[in-house]
């Protein structure tokens, strides 16, 4: 068992990441609001400043989950399992937000709530994989079995993403469907908009790292409540 270092009430690194994240978010907010509206979409384009970062963080989290799942399979340390679950949790939240904001953006802009766009479809599949991940974790009480099972699902689900993506791309290209690029749409990116987007991306990333670390520590404290033999 890892000798737990004494946890201070709030770890300085957490404060650093979250602090930096919030400050950057404020800046991002300012830039987003001061950026000009898009030629085609008007003020609606502002949803992009939230939608793109949430999708980005969602995929960051997915990579995190994959990394920690593989690490657990190799090393079998409880820490890796905890962090895999934390990543998956954040991934679930952010991907859900991404799909939701994408939908919100899509309806007034292009008239549809959903397109069978490769990115969106793959994101939806990944979302369902994560839901399954958590239902599985909830169904197993023994921590060791749970960690092993979750790692299996995490790895299989993750390697599925590129394959699914490719197959949906082929599927659509055969029917020559115009692809609505949900990342930027038919938006011409002017420099101020790009700046706002980048700043928000950075803000969300910093917040993600901070939240992940904090959440991981909470999970560690929960685990420490268990007695020694």
Sign of the C-alpha dihedral computed for residues 11, 12, 14 and 15 taken in this order: positive
- Residue from 145, 177, 194, 218 binding another protein (CB under 8 A): 145
Q: Is 116 in the site for another protein (CB under 8 A)?
A: no
**How many other β-carbons are positioned within 10 Å of the β-carbon of residue 216?**
18
- Of the candidates 64, 91, 157, 185, which one interacts with another protein according to CB under 8 A? 157
Identify the DSSP state of 176: T
> Would you count residue 164 as binding another protein (CB under 8 A)?
yes
- The span from the CA of 171 to the CA of 160, in Å, is 16
Number of other CB atoms surrounding residue 64 within 10 Å: 21
Q: Which of 23, 159, 190, 194 binds another protein (CB under 8 A)?
A: 159
Q: Are 114 and 106 in contact (CB under 8 A)?
A: yes
Window 59-98: contact mask with another protein (x via CB under 8 A): --------------x-------------------------
Residue with Cβ nearer another protein (112 or 131):
131
Q: Is 171 in the site for another protein (CB under 8 A)?
A: yes
Residues 23, 26, 33, 128: which binds another protein (CB under 8 A)? Answer: 128
3-state secondary structure of 33: helix
Rounded CA gap, 102 and 158, in Å?
22
**Is 144 near another protein (CB under 8 A)?**
yes
Judged by CB under 8 A, the residue of 4, 23, 39, 163 near another protein is: 163
Structure tokens at 165: 């993506």
Question: 13: closest CA among 209, 198, 186, 192?
Answer: 209
Interface residues with another protein (CB under 8 A) are 1, 73, 125-126, 128-129, 131-132, 135-136, 139-145, 148-149, 151-153, 155-157, 159-160, 163-164, 166-168, 170-171, 174, 226-227, 229
């Amino acid at each position: 068992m890892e000798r737990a270092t004494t946890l201070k009430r709030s770890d300085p690194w957490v404060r650093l990441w979250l602090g930096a994240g919030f400050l950057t978010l404020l800046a991002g907010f300012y830039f987003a609001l001061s950026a000009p509206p898009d030629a085609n979409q008007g003020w609606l384009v502002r949803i992009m400043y939230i939608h793109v970062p949430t999708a980005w963080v969602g995929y960051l989290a997915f990579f995190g989950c994959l990394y920690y799942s593989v690490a657990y399979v190799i090393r079998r340390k409880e820490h890796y399992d905890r962090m895999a679950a934390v990543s998956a949790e954040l991934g679930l939240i952010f991907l859900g937000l991404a799909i939701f904001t994408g939908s919100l953006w899509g309806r007034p802009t292009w008239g549809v709530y959903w397109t069978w766009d490769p990115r969106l479809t793959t994101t939806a599949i990944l979302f369902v994989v994560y839901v399954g991940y958590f239902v599985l974790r909830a169904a197993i009480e023994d921590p060791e079995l749970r960690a092993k099972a979750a790692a299996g699902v995490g790895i299989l689900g993750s390697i599925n993403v590129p394959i699914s993506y490719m197959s949906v791309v082929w599927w659509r290209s055969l029917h020559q469907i115009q692809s609505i690029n949900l990342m930027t749409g038919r938006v011409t990116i002017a420099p101020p908009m790009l700046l706002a987007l980048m700043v928000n991306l950075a803000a969300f990333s910093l917040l993600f790292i901070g939240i992940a670390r904090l959440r991981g520590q909470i999970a560690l404290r929960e685990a420490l409540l268990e007695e020694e033999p």
